[in-house]
Amino acid sequence: MSAHIPAPSRSLAASPPEASPPAAVAGRSAPVRASRKPPGMWATVAALLRKELLVELRTLESVPGMSLFAVTTFVVFHFALNQNTVSGDEAAGILWVTLLFAAMLGVNRLFVADQDQGGFDAFLLAPVDRTAMLLAKALALFAYLAVLELIAVPAFGLLLLAPPLGQALPDLLVVLVLADLGIAAIGTLVAALAVQTRARDLLGPLLALPLLVPVVIGAARASSPLLVLTHSTGPQVRWLATLALYDLVFGLIAYAVFDFLLED
């Protein structure tokens, strides 16, 4: 009588071998996905500046209003002064006071879109340096001022200035650049502070104008010798140095406190 050998269980025969992790089968560890490196500071500044300029080109919210205000003010001065031309200290005062008040229109609008559309929150969530927004906004405001002066300064020379503008223009460009740097640094700092409040349209000029008075005084004193009929000297060096020092001081202050203003 032959011995009966039981057949293996069907469940045991059909069960597949225990699955092992692919990494263990391959005999090597699974590759680690490389994390994307956050963009550098200057790449962030370039991207933000490009966004600011594209938004301005599409909406035309700041520069046309600034330019129209300046030209209209020169027209008012042309008829209100009861004289056809001005020169020297009077011309410098009219030019810089007009440019200052026109710049206030751009300062008030600098951070409004970011505040209303959640741009601040999106920027704070991004893994980038917070100072990049300060530099991008200041450069955008500097570009707005440059376009403003391309329109306003020739209009001033045509409507009010007695001496030819061409003889003063090379030296006047130096004064314009130094003054624009100061306005851009102070205006960006004040705009970031005022946009967090309800009365931003009122608080911005009230904070900015006292801080910008030294810029107007230095720019007017430096450009006054250039706007006379007998133009023979360049801008006064001590006033140019004063403007440069003032720009440096407020640029450092804005760099130091901007992160706290942005987070608050």
Residue 172 in this model has a pLDDT that exceeds 60? yes
Nearest to 150 by CA among 172, 178, 183, 167: 172
Q: Give the pLDDT band of residue 27 (cuts 50, 70, 90).
A: very low
Q: Give the pLDDT band of residue 175 (cuts 50, 70, 90).
A: very high
The span from the CA of 227 to the CA of 221, in Å, is 11
Give 161's strand partners.
86
Mean pLDDT of the chain: 81
Residue found by looking up tokens 């300029």 in the block = 53
Q: What is the pLDDT of residue 11?
A: 42
In the chain, which ranges are continuous DSSP H helix? Answer: 10-14, 22-26, 41-59, 63-80, 88-108, 112-116, 119-125, 131-159, 165-194, 200-223, 237-263
Note the Cα 154 to chain centre separation in Å: 25
Q: Give the pLDDT band of residue 29 (cuts 50, 70, 90).
A: very low
State the average pLDDT over residues 92-111: 92
Residue 37 — left, alpha, or beta (φ > 0 → left; ψ -120 to 50 → alpha)? beta
Residue 25 in this model has a pLDDT that exceeds 50? no
Residue 34 in this model has a pLDDT that exceeds 50? no
Q: What angle do CA 217, 63, 130 make, to 5 degrees?
A: 80
Q: What is the pLDDT of residue 217?
A: 94
Residue 253 contacts by C-beta under 8 Å, 6 or more apart in sequence? 189
Q: Are 102 and 148 in contact (CB under 8 A)?
A: yes
Q: What is the pLDDT of residue 187?
A: 93
Q: Give the pLDDT band of residue 122 (cuts 50, 70, 90).
A: low
Residue 156, CB half-sphere, CA atoms under 13 Å: how many? 27
State the average pLDDT over residues 209-225: 93
Q: What angle do CA 141, 97, 177 make, to 5 degrees?
A: 45
Residue 199 in this model has a pLDDT that exceeds 70? yes
Q: What is the DSSP letter of 160?
A: T
